[in-house]
């Protein structure tokens, strides 16, 4: 089982879009992928074709159910989603309390690991949260999504401080940045992108161009690969998927 944590100190940067596209892309490579929504906005499911009035969600049963595989919604062969749902304030708080217990999420994630080659990919709410601490302390790969704009640059000290992710990340794990909404037509955007590439080098795991194809696909509840396979964003996401897959294989080999 491999675990990917997709987060950001900032909202609206493309975390959910990246999570969904990575899930589809990794599945295309033959993995069994389970996408888990830890954001009360409950938006991840919309990328998997679930309708707005579908109220299914795992959080309301997360504490009492020891086997989370019974809470998954299968959306395609080898592709499942655990929508956040609408648990209400009390159940949400209880869930967050349980997330503080180090063994809780580990055992629930293990319950999802029914076949070899399972990848769990978690979409987090913006900023710090009990979910971020719990997921990042288990994840093989921590992906931080940022935009190439000045607001994201101003958040770099938070990411660099080492305080954003928990201190106890797994020894055999790594961090990667995804720069989203890259726009070569904007000078500022390009300059920031060059700065980030220079500063972070190999830690940058993907650049995704700003592309209408992404928002159009989101609006149609389709995935960019299917809706606009020739688009720039589809090519970028394809490259990101391949890079992520390589990192997971490398980490697995290192871990023995």
Nearest to 42 by CA among 53, 34, 33, 31: 53
19 binds Mg ion (CB under 5 A): no
Dihedral sign from CA coordinates of 12, 16, 17, 22: positive
Kindly state whether residue 184 participates in binding ligand ADP, applying the rule CB under 6 A.
Answer: no
Q: Least distance (Å) from ligand ADP to the CB of residue 161? A: 21
Query: Based on CB atoms, which residue is closest to Mg ion, 9 or 78?
Result: 9
- Taking the complex as a whole, the smallest distance from the CB of residue 107 to Mg ion amounts, in Å, to 26
If one asks whether residue 78 binds Mg ion (CB under 5 A), the answer comes out as: no
* Binding residue for ligand ADP, selected from 27, 45, 175, 210, defined by CB under 6 A: 210
Fill in the per-residue mask, 71 to 100: x = in contact with ligand ADP (CB under 6 A), - = not in contact. ------------------------------
> Between residues 8 and 42, which has the closer beta carbon with respect to ligand ADP?
8
Residue 233 binding ligand ADP, by CB under 6 A: yes
Q: Would you count residue 124 as binding ligand ADP (CB under 6 A)? A: no
Class of residue 128 by CB neighbours under 10 A (exposed 0-12, middle 13-18, buried 19+): middle
List the one residue from 60, 149, 211, 247 that touches ligand ADP (CB under 6 A).
211
Q: Tell me: does residue 32 bind ligand ADP (CB under 6 A).
A: no
When asked if residue 11 is in the footprint of ligand ADP (CB under 6 A), the reply is yes
Q: Does 13 engage in binding with ligand ADP (CB under 6 A)? A: yes
Task: Please tell me the count of residues contacting ligand ADP according to CB under 6 A.
Answer: 18
Measured CA to CA, the distance from residue 247 to residue 252 in angstroms comes to: 8
Report in angstroms how near the CB of residue 57 gets to ligand ADP at its nearest.
17
User: Where on the chain is the footprint of Mg ion (CB under 5 A)?
Assistant: 15-16
Applying CB under 6 A, the residues found at the interface with ligand ADP are 8, 11-17, 43, 180-181, 208, 210-211, 214-215, 218, 233
């Amino acid at each position: 089982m491999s675990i990917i944590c997709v987060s950001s100190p900032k909202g609206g940067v493309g975390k959910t879009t990246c999570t969904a596209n990575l899930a589809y892309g990794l599945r295309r490579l033959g993995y069994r992928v389970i996408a888990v929504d830890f954001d009360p906005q409950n938006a991840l499911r919309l990328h998997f074709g679930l309708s707005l009035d579908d109220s299914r969600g795992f959080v309301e049963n997360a504490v009492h159910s020891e086997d989370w595989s019974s809470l998954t919604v299968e959306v395609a062969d080898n592709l499942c989603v655990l929508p956040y749902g609408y648990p209400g304030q009390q159940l949400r708080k209880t869930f967050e309390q349980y997330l503080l217990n180090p063994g809780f999420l580990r055992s629930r994630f293990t319950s999802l690991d029914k076949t070899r080659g399972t990848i769990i990919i978690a979409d987090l709410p913006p900023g710090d949260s009990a979910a971020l601490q719990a997921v990042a302390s288990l994840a093989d790969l921590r992906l931080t999504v940022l935009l190439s704009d000045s607001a994201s640059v101003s958040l770099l000290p938070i990411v660099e401080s080492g305080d954003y992710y928990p201190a106890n990340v797994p020894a055999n794990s790594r961090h990667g940045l995804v720069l989203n909404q890259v726009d070569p037509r904007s000078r500022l955007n390009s300059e920031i992108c060059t700065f980030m590439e220079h500063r972070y080098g190999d830690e940058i795991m993907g650049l995704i161009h700003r592309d209408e194809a992404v928002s159009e696909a989101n609006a149609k509840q389709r995935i960019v690969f299917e809706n606009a396979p020739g688009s720039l964003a589809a090519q970028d996401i394809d490259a990101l998927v391949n890079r992520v897959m390589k990192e997971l294989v490398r980490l697995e080999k290192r871990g023995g």
